[in-house]
Structure 1
Amino acid sequence: MRLARYTSEFKYNWKLAAPVMLGMLGHTFVSFVDNIMVGQLGTAELAAVSLGNSFMFIAMSLGIGFSTAITPLIAEADSSNNFDQAKSTFKHGLFLCTVLGVSLFLMVFFAKPLMHLMNQPDEVVQLAIPYLDLVAFSLIPLIVFQALKQFSDGMSITKYPMYATIIANLVNVGLNYVLIFGHFGFPELGIVGAAYGTLASRIIMVGYLWWLLAKRERTRKLVTNIKIFVLDTLMLKKILGLGMPSAMQMFFEVAIFTAAIWLSGLLGKNPQAANQIALNLSSMTFMVAMGLSVAAMVRVGNQKGLMKFRELRRIAVSIFLLGTLLATFFGTIFFLFHKQLPTIYVDMNDTINYADNMEVISIAAKLLFAAAIFQISDSIQVIVLGALRGLQDVKIPTLITFVAYWAVGFPISYFLGKEDMYGSFGIWLGLLAGLTTAAILLYIRFNYLTLKLIRTKEHELT
């Protein structure tokens, strides 16, 4: 019956997390569709999208990580029925995310010359630059969307961002089809067509989610009649105090995966394309864990507002358990189908690029072995991180993620990823080491904090 204390929460946790998972998967699905369609053009085009998106991943990690500060503050305000705090959090969060979105666009736009200094294949760089121009601009609507999404998640309305993402994906698939290949009289733009699809879909995503929130009675007063430039310094500092460490946590993890892209590029365009395939597949399973991470953030934030720390710990552990079970399932899928999954991304009937395509599939199949193993540690670290954000504990976890990924993971990737060592597989062994270290240390931190909160409250009651 002790196990039932945790499994009894599975149904509600899944109900809360599933729309978030689908919404997060929607973001990844945009990349998935881009990769499959662009992969039909050739391995150089697929590698170019990989290189361009490596800059985007860094910027997105900062924006998405920062926006997560909104969710626990909204969840705490919602559970205690504090309307003023909820509205203030939304307004200041929206303002800061908009400023950050513009800043990230400018950062990526002016960072393009770095591609020429990274020893990447010239053919790949020439294709990546025009693609990145448009995709970089899409950061502005994406980060604004994140502010709306995190607010909605904090209010436990996780379906609305999912609906917006589904609509955006339909738009993206349609525009990709006509603009990449030039169907129905549209110009054939290649990978630039994929960038137009991404930009348009993200603009639509913002407008649709705001419309849904403004239409609902429970959230209408919170998201309308906003005096966006009438700002409170204390609230700005509070969101920045939570948001900046959260941004760095996600940055440290995404940056090591981005480093894997660059290290793969040093090995050639085929290893880089294979890395992109394995990374894209891993990203989709990671979004399931991200959904549970948001559920942990919301539920822990609610229980923190109610000062029910034993319930907080029980609920969080139930989410950790559910995440571990799902990660084990995904790892098994990767292990069993490691040879078949990469074939989705390349044109097997392309006789001109047949040798390149077969090499890409062979390398990607090996990388999926490493991905299968780190499913569990990747899931645990991001879900525990969500629970810690719900506790509004962000500084020590930021240090933990830096040590795990850059003091442990990256040196192993760099050393084992050389051509005369294990190549691409060695790079991914470093990722495995970093994720596992993060999972262990973050759980130790969560265990320490929750037991301390329980002891403190029980001591006050005696």
Structure 2
Amino acid sequence: MLNSAVEERQIEKSLGKRKFRKNGDIRDVLVVALPMLLSMSFDTLMTFVDRLFLSKLGPAEMNASLGAGGMNLVLTTFFTGMISYTTAMVAQRFGAGKKDECASVFMQAVFLSIVCVPLLYLTIPLGHAIFDVQGVAADQLVHQKTYFNILMFGGVVSLIRNAAPCFFSGIGETKVIMKAAFVGMLVNIACNYLLIYGCGPIPRLGVAGAAYGTVIGNIVSTVMLFAVYFSKRNNARFGTRVHLKVNLDQMKELLKRGLPSGVEMFLNMSAFQLLILLFHGLGPVEATAASVMFNWDMVAYVPLMGLEVASTSLVGRYVGAKQAAAATRSTYSGVKVGWGYSLIIGVLLVFLPGVLADIFRPDSTAAAEALAIFETARPMSIFMLRFATLYIFVEVLLVIYCGALRGAGDTVWVMIACGIMNWFNAIALYIAAYVLKMPAHYAWIIVVCVYGTAPVLFFLRWKGGKWRRHVLDKM
């Protein structure tokens, strides 16, 4: 811990030359978190627009994009989760004033991303095999495989694109990430419209067009981030054009600390994908109701991942600076910011669920069967959306404490706890819907109630302070 005002001012300067009333307060969190919230919102909107445009073609196309997109995340999250620990490594070095190591750490993440691409491609047959036993309608299965294949073969883009923001989130300059995500979103929306529906010489590609639009948007945002990374300003500060070699020690550290994060995210997304598959296996009506609910849940949840990244960045920097009190303060400030955001989302889910559901209504030109499925699913989706309000408030606690513990290096415990929690949710849904034969919307209540018990464990882990002893003894 620091014992003098002079040392405190030196640490504040090393943390980005910003002066706050108290390190780790709400304003401190907002500086890093707000741009990340917005950038994650833009990323979410890219996916949301895919499904919104496809919903106008029919429920099969919309449901296919949700199922295929979820499977793509399952198979990529091990790699992206492992690489994302770069944020904590960069933040810790930045907080300790070791700026010359920040760029080197980031390049290890880029190298690792490239190495992981062939391994990612080897998982494509696994995704197809799971789709074949899923039990979805034949028309949805065809669309699902098409969307999935394009996203997976664009995996080299998604992995490098995931690594690109880690440097900027680690040093706290998240506005760069926000701007790149915004431009990528605009490109994605334009490409989606042109490629899904066709325009002039551009053919109508439907589901395939949505996938291509996502890949193109990701390419644009990635190029923007690397252009800023290699700029004269960042080269002068961090030597970004100099540190281009493999550093085995840093690579080993990234693998050692990042592997638990990768396993954690894989287990989390696998359990979430299983939830989707279980709902879709109940029939087209239940699949449509769940798709509407999960689409809006992702709109609400993914921006919270921006708070998680901000929590990892801030805690990592304060741990690097040996400011445990500020790390704790920033975590509690993050919870307050997250609950403020969730309150806004909760109002929409409680009072406007019908409006939210009707956004996914198929066009009047769609097949009569598609329109009938949506009308039957609409009351169920409204019920599920309203109950998802509690789900969102619980997610705030999880993302903040997961991010904080990860930033402090407590990645193994987070991996185990998150894996158990998410798979318990999937098991609870299976028992409720398939064993007890409960209607889908009542089974959703069971899932939310089981999920709601998890934050207590994460709070107690953080409050217990084991992360503080574990990390500070090694700094």
TM-score for the superposition, normalised by structure 2? 0.88
Question: In 1, are the aligned partners of 2:96 and 2:320 still within 8 Å (CA)?
Answer: yes
Work out whether residues 24 and 327 of structure 2, in 8 Å CA contact, stay in contact via their aligned partners in 1: no
Task: Tell me the alpha carbon deviations over residues 177-212 of structure 1, each in whole angstroms, 9 at most, x when there is no partner.
Answer: 111111132101111111111111112221111002
Unpaired stretches in structure 1, ≥5 consecutive residues: 458-462
Compared CA separation, residues 216 and 380, structure 1 to 2 (3 A): farther
Matched residues, percent identical? 22
Number of residue pairs aligned between Structure 1 and Structure 2: 450
Spell out the pairing of 1:93-172 with structure 2 (5 A cutoff). Answer: 93-108=109-124, 111-172=127-188
The offset of 1:15, in angstroms, is 2.2
Match of 1:29?
Answer: 45
Q: Report what 1:460 is aligned to.
A: none
Structure 2 residue corresponding to 1:322, chosen from 334, 337, 343: 337
1:397 Cα offset (Å): 1.4
- Answer whether contact 2:57 2:363 (CA < 8 A) is retained: no
Matched, 1:40 2:59: no
Query: Compared with structure 1, are the counterparts of its residues 451 and 223 closer, same or farther at alpha carbon in structure 2 (3 Å cutoff)?
Result: closer
CA contact 2:95–2:320 (8 Å) conserved in 1 = yes
1:286 corresponds to which of 301, 326, 337? 301
Deviating more after overlay: 56-65 vs 214-223? 214-223
CA 216–340 in structure 1, closer or farther in 2 if over 3 Å, else same: farther
Q: What does residue range 2-401 of structure 1 map to in structure 2 within 5 Å? A: 9-108=25-124, 111-215=127-231, 217-219=233-235, 221-228=238-245, 230-232=246-248, 234-347=249-362, 349-350=364-365, 352=368, 353-401=370-418
| Cα separation, 1, equivalents of 2:235 and 2:72 | 31
SS at match of 2:230: helix
Given that 1:328 and 1:375 are in contact with CA atoms closer than 8 Å, whether structure 2 keeps it comes out as no
Aligned partner letter, 1:131: Y
On the 8 A contact 1:178/1:184 being kept in 2, the answer is no
- The 3-state SS of whatever aligns with 1:184 is coil
Letter in 2 for 1:208: M
Q: Residues 104 and 8 of structure 1: is their aligned pair in 2 closer, same or farther, counting only changes over 3 Å?
A: closer
Deviation at 1:57, TM superposition (A): 2.1
Q: d(CA) in 2 for partners of 1:76 and 1:106?
A: 34
Does the CA-based 8 Å contact 2:26-2:330 persist in structure 1? no
CA contact (8 A) 1:138 1:202 kept: no
Matched residue type, 2:409: Q
- Contact 1:264–1:424 (8 Å) recurs in 2: yes
Letter in 2 for 1:70: T
- The answer on whether the counterparts of 1:348 and 1:357 sit within 8 Å (CA) in structure 2 is no
Matched residue type, 2:221: M
CA–CA separation in structure 2 for the residues paired with 1:310 and 1:231:
32
**Structure 1 residue 289, shift from structure 2 partner:** 1.8
8 Å CA contact 1:300–1:391 kept in 2: the answer is yes
**If the length of structure 1 is used for normalisation, what is the TM-score?**
0.91
User: How far is 1:291 from its partner?
Assistant: 1.6
How much has 1:222 moved relative to structure 2?
4.0
Unaligned 5+ runs, structure 2: 1-20
Q: Cα 1:109–1:197, aligned 2, differ >3 Å: closer, same or farther? A: farther
RMSD between aligned alpha carbons? Answer: 2.5
**Alignment partners' CA distance in 1, 2:375 and 2:66:** 18
> Residues of 2 paired with 1:7 and 1:308: CA distance?
9
**Amino acid aligned to 1:264:** F
Displacement of 1:430 in angstroms is 4.5
Q: CA, structure 1 residues 26+419, in 2 after alignment: closer, same or farther (shift >3 Å)?
A: farther
Moved more, 186-195 or 19-28: 19-28
Task: Answer yes or no: is the 8 Å Cα contact 2:56–2:362 preserved in 1.
Answer: yes
SS at match of 2:33: helix
State whether residues 58 and 254 of structure 1, in contact with CA within 8 Å, keep that contact through their aligned partners in structure 2. Answer: yes
